[in-house]
Structures are given as C-alpha cells and as structure tokens.
Amino acid sequence: MQSEQEDELETSLSWEASGRSVLKLNIRHLYIFGLWPLCEAWPFHLYTAYGAALGIWNTAEGFLAVYFSWGDLEQTTLVLMNTFTNASGLVKIVFFARDGRRYNSLARSVDRLMSLQSEVCSRDPGLAAVLRRSRQGATRLTLGMLLFMFSQCFVWFPMPVFAHAGERRLPFAQHPWDNNTGYYELSYAVQCVAGLWLSQISYGIDCLFASVMLLVAAQLEILAGRIVALGKVANAAGCRPDESLAANTRSQTYRDLCVCVEAHQKVLRFVTHLENTMSPIAMTQFVCSVLVACSSLFQATYSKDLSAAFSSMSFLPIPGGQVYLYCWAAHTVTEKAEMISSAAYGCSWVEASERFKHALRILISRAQKPLVLTAGHLYPIDKPAFLSLVNASYSYYALLGQMNKR
C-alpha cells in the first residue's frame, strides 16, 4: 500500500493537474523554460536538451575566455561572474533531471499538506487568514523575483551596443582568440538566450523551494494556533461542574490533540522530504552565489569600464537575493516550528486530563528539537548562515583587491 502511494505521488504532473496545484506558477514557469515536463511527448525532452546544451556551450565558452584572458583580472572576473551564474543553472538542470520523480512527489505532497488543516481553517477565520497569506505571499514572491531577474536583460544585453558602439563587443564572454570577428551576431544571440534561459531556470528553482518553505511555515503556525485553542478548551472542561459533560469534552479534546500530533508528524516528514530534494540545489547555489557576489563587487569597484561597473552593480543584488531567499524562508520554518513547543507549554493545560498532559509532554519533547534545514546535509540554512556567506564573499573580494594592486 505504501509503495502504491509513493508511486502515485511520483507520477508526472499534467498541465491540468499543475493548474490545481498551489505551486501552479512555479511549476508552469519551469515548464515554459523546458525543465518541468507536464507531458511525456518526446519534443519536450528535446526542448530540455536544448536548454542543457545552451548551458554547456555557455560554460565552455566562459572557461575558454578565461584561459585566453588569464592575467587580466578585470576581464577574468567579468567572465566568471556570468559563467558561474549560468553554470549554477546548468547544475540545477542536471539535478532536476536526475530527481524528476522526487520533484513531482514534492509538488503533490505540498498540495496534500495544504489540505491537511483546511477543514479547521474553514471554521476559524484567523487560521484561514494565515493560510491565505501564505499562498498569496508565495505567489507574489515568485512573480516579483522572476520579474526582477528578467529586468536584468534590459541592462546587460543591449549594453555593448550602446556603450561600445562599433567595437563588436559581446554581452558577457569576449572571444580573445579571434577578437569577436567570427560569427559575431550568432555569438551575441546565443549569449543573450543562454543568459536569459539559465538565469530563469536557476531563479525559478530557488523560488520554488522558497515558496514551499513559506507554505510549510504557515502550516506550523496554524498548528500552533490549534494547540493553543485546545488548551483553552481543556482548561474550561476541568472547571465545569457537570462531570459527564466535562468528561465528554476532555475526551474530545484529547482526540483533537492526537490529530494535532499526527499533523505535526506529517509536517516533519514532509520537511525531511523537502530537505532531501533541496539540499544539493541549495549547496550549489551557496557556492555559486559567493563566487558571483565576489566577482560582481570587484567589477563594481575596480572596473575602468563604466558600463561594466554599472551592470555589475545592478547585478549584485541577484546572488545575494538567491542566498537570502533560502536563508530567510528556512529561518521562518525554524521559527514557526519553535512556536509548537511554546504553544503546547502555554496552552492552559493545568486543569486538563492526565492523558492530555501526557500527550502534550510528548509533543513538547519532539517540538523542542530544532527544525533546521541544511544545504548538502552539512550547512545549516538560516539568517546567521546568510551573514557568514556575505562575509565569505567580502573576504574573497578583499583578496582579489590585494591581487589587483600588485
């Protein structure tokens, strides 16, 4: 039975099924860019291969440009900034292709998780508001971040035409081996398409995980509110003069608490599933963001080309934003998980029945274990991690600055 349920969860989503998902925007965005298959037609797999080929070509072109421009620190860091950004998108394509069934399972599990407490939310306007805010917040976050990333196209792509008119400059990696004379128009178009394609895929996956974490945090907040309300009912039942009515109320409250404990366990199992899926992607993004932020900051500070400095300065929030997405969303999950233990301890359990108190102690014991998501199952994802990564980027930037002065 369990195997059948797992197979059902891992079944590929269709276009129609994605429209009913709370992650509709995330899934369909990745489908448009050839990553998330919503059909089994072979042309889509060719479409996915096309995106991967763009990433391979752009990465190879970038490292080849670095080889020919080695010694020119300014030109090298400018190329590496774009190369690492697109390489992270390529690595994410590889991970998604490898774990495609797991991503389908994640999407279906999110929808099940959102319906886990929907009945309770329908009876409580306060809890319903939490659920509604989480869904709206996830959608707005995804839309805003993807549009911001898309806006960079209007800075980077036309910049060589306006800032270096007549010099046949390319947007990202130059071709020192032929001075951009061979297939210039084609190279320009390929760099633009690859930059747009891979950046949208990279940011799209980041927004997917951030949205899921926000939805999980909302479920934990709703669960904490339910536990607080149960404590008030249990305390009121202990003060009632009618013993039979009080006993019935205690019994019902205990059953409701058991439902809450079961919901808590389901959320924890889902978080484990989320971490297993997200962990390699998050580690890839952390490493690439540190390197890209370092290169962008160096270009913005030391570049003699004003157009390159301006482009780098406008690009600098992107690697920082990608890291902050993970750290902020994961930290929110950790904070909401801590609310479960606090809600259980402060829920007016003094007059409750003994079995209610016993179940509550079990819940508190489990909830006191910090719920921390990790990158690569090694590096905790939280707000302090964001600060440490920013410090690492600055350290590498300072090292490049010292090398540039020699």
Please give the pLDDT value at position 165.
Answer: 78
Does residue 74 lie within any of the structural domains?
A: no
Mean pLDDT, residues 52-69 taken together: 88
Please give the pLDDT value at position 315.
Answer: 80
Please give the pLDDT value at position 131.
Answer: 92
* Cβ atoms 346, 224 nearer than 8 A: no
At 349, the pLDDT band (50, 70, 90 cuts) reads low
Amino acid letter, residue 139: T
Q: How far apart are CA 372 and CA 369, in angstroms?
A: 9
Does residue 270 lie within any of the structural domains?
A: yes
Please give the pLDDT value at position 110.
Answer: 93
**Averaged pLDDT score across all residues of the chain:** 84
Question: Which residues 6+ apart lie within 8 Å of 246 measured at CB?
Answer: 237, 238, 240
Q: In the chain, pLDDT over 90 holds for what percent of residues?
A: 33
Does residue 297 lie within any of the structural domains?
A: yes
Please give the pLDDT value at position 350.
Answer: 66
Q: Say which residue the tokens 């949208």 belong to.
A: 200
Does residue 87 lie within any of the structural domains?
A: no
Q: Give how far the C-alpha of residue 306 lies from the chain's centroid of Cα atoms, to the nearest Å.
A: 33
- Rounded to 5°, angle at Cα 123 from 118 and 125: 95
H-helix segments, 164-242: 184-238
At 213, the pLDDT band (50, 70, 90 cuts) reads very high
Does residue 187 lie within any of the structural domains?
A: no
Count Cβ atoms within 10 A of the Cβ of residue 167 and give its class: 0-12 exposed, 13-18 middle, 19 or more buried: exposed
Mean pLDDT, residues 284-302 taken together: 84
Does residue 56 lie within any of the structural domains?
A: no
Please give the pLDDT value at position 317.
Answer: 83
User: Which helix (H) or strand (E) segment is 380 a member of?
Assistant: strand 379-380
- Written as six digits, the tokens of 36 are 């998330």
At 138, the pLDDT band (50, 70, 90 cuts) reads very high
Question: Which residues 6+ apart lie within 8 Å of 217 measured at CB?
Answer: 134, 329, 332, 333, 335, 336
* Cβ atoms 286, 382 nearer than 8 A: no
Length of the chain counted residue by residue: 406
Does residue 71 lie within any of the structural domains?
A: no
Is residue 379 predicted with pLDDT exceeding 60? Answer: yes
pLDDT tens-digit readout, 23-41? 999 999 999 999 999 877 7
Q: How far apart are CA 241 and CA 252, in angstroms?
A: 17
- Written as six digits, the tokens of 364 are 């508190």
Question: Which residues 6+ apart lie within 8 Å of 53 measured at CB?
Answer: none
At 245, the pLDDT band (50, 70, 90 cuts) reads very low
Please give the pLDDT value at position 4.
Answer: 46
Please give the pLDDT value at position 358.
Answer: 82
Is residue 305 predicted with pLDDT exceeding 80? Answer: no
Is residue 91 predicted with pLDDT exceeding 80? Answer: yes
pLDDT tens-digit readout, 256-279? 888 888 999 999 999 999 999 999
Please give the pLDDT value at position 167.
Answer: 83
- Of 199-213, 241-255, 287-301, which has the strongest mean pLDDT? 199-213
Is residue 380 predicted with pLDDT exceeding 80? Answer: yes
At 1, the pLDDT band (50, 70, 90 cuts) reads very low
- Of 79-88, 172-181, 329-338, 386-395, which has the strongest mean pLDDT? 329-338
Please give the pLDDT value at position 83.
Answer: 86
Does residue 33 lie within any of the structural domains?
A: no
Number of domains forming the structure of the chain: 1
What residue numbers bound the domain in which 206 lies? Answer: 2-23+100-159+202-405
Going by the DSSP 8-state scheme, the letter that residue 13 receives in this structure is P
The backbone torsions φ and ψ at residue 379, rounded to the nearest 5 degrees and listed phi first, read -105, 120
